Amino acid sequence: MNESILIVEDEDPIREMLIYSLTKEGFKVEQADSVKQAKDFITHRIPDLILLDWMLPGVSGVDFARSLRSDLLTRTVPIIMLTAKGAEADKVKALDTGADDYITKPFSTKELLARIRAVFRRTASEDLTQVLEIPGLLVDPSTCQVIAGKNNINLSPTEFRLLYFFISHPEKVFSRTQLLDKIWGENIYVEERTVDVHIRRLRKNLGTFGLDKNIQTVRSFGYKFSLK
Ligand code: CA
């Protein structure tokens, strides 16, 4: 079955270009020109991926990404943010909303397709079957749930994979490049900084439950997950 992609973009020429390119590649493409329309669509069907424009009239893409992440039905749907902003701080902000990746306008169709495929490859290659448990935390891949005591922790798909990977390899140090290969797949477009942003977000989400300190920075090398 073809993967479905929901495009949320208010600029007609860009939306039409995306519809054309993605349909040609065999994706099942759906479209919305506002967050309201996207929400209406999602109540009927959950797409396999959302391409979300940052600047939208009314509710912004950033706010919508956050609400998608906090909703049980959509929190595991991969999001790629389309942004006109190239500044480093904005890239970080895009990932900070829980988006899995971002692409800066103007972008080439080739680059966008590479990123979309990388996201789908990650989802497909996952062999997350085992429920993992460490003191204070239970990670269930069948439901993508992370439970700390009686609380659910909302994580984006990337954060979930990152945590799952760490817990599967406790005390082992991984470089950013290794984490990129393991979690993101071999995608030449993803910068090493992306790892730092996702780690920071994961720590923040685990922080509420005092588990952020388990993810340790190993200076000039990378990160490890420690149970100590
Ligand atoms: Ca726009």
Of 70, 96, 125, the position where a domain reaches its end is: 125
142 & 98 share domain: no
72 & 89 share domain: yes
Of 125, 142, 159, the position where a domain reaches its end is: 125
- The average confidence (pLDDT) of the chain is 87
68 CA to middle of ligand 1, Å? 18
86 & 176 share domain: no
35 CA to middle of ligand 1, Å? 11
83 CA to middle of ligand 1, Å? 8
Q: Which residue has the higher pLDDT, 16 or 190?
A: 16
47 & 85 share domain: yes
Counted domains in the chain: 2
107 CA to middle of ligand 1, Å? 14
Query: How high is the pLDDT of residue 125?
Result: 59
The average pLDDT across 48-71 equals 92
Query: How high is the pLDDT of residue 126?
Result: 59
Query: How high is the pLDDT of residue 178?
Result: 86
Neighbours of ion ligand 1 (CB under 5 A): 10, 53, 55
The CATH number of residue 207's host domain is 1.10.10.10
The CATH number of residue 39's host domain is 3.40.50.2300
Of 125, 149, 183, the position where a domain reaches its end is: 125
Query: How high is the pLDDT of residue 188?
Result: 58
169 CA to middle of ligand 1, Å? 41
24 & 106 share domain: yes
pTM over 0.75: no
14 & 113 share domain: yes
121 & 9 share domain: yes
Q: Which residue has the higher pLDDT, 120 or 24?
A: 24
- Residue closest to 177 by CA, chosen among 188, 169, 163: 188
12 & 75 share domain: yes
9 & 111 share domain: yes
Domain of 39 in residue numbering reads as 4-125
**Per-residue pLDDT tens digits for 70-129:** 887 787 789 999 987 667 777 778 788 888 888 988 899 999 999 998 888 776 655 667
Query: How high is the pLDDT of residue 69?
Result: 85
- Name the band, by pLDDT with cuts 50, 70 and 90, for residue 44: confident
110 & 21 share domain: yes
54 CA to middle of ligand 1, Å? 6
**Per-residue pLDDT tens digits for 138-191:** 998 877 789 998 888 888 888 888 999 999 888 889 999 889 888 877 655 778
52 CA to middle of ligand 1, Å? 9
62 CA to middle of ligand 1, Å? 12
82 CA to middle of ligand 1, Å? 9
91 CA to middle of ligand 1, Å? 16
Query: How high is the pLDDT of residue 29?
Result: 97
145 & 97 share domain: no
63 CA to middle of ligand 1, Å? 14
193 CA to middle of ligand 1, Å? 26
Query: How high is the pLDDT of residue 27?
Result: 95
85 CA to middle of ligand 1, Å? 11
The average pLDDT across 24-30 equals 95
110 CA to middle of ligand 1, Å? 21
Query: How high is the pLDDT of residue 182?
Result: 80
9 CA to middle of ligand 1, Å? 6
66 & 101 share domain: yes
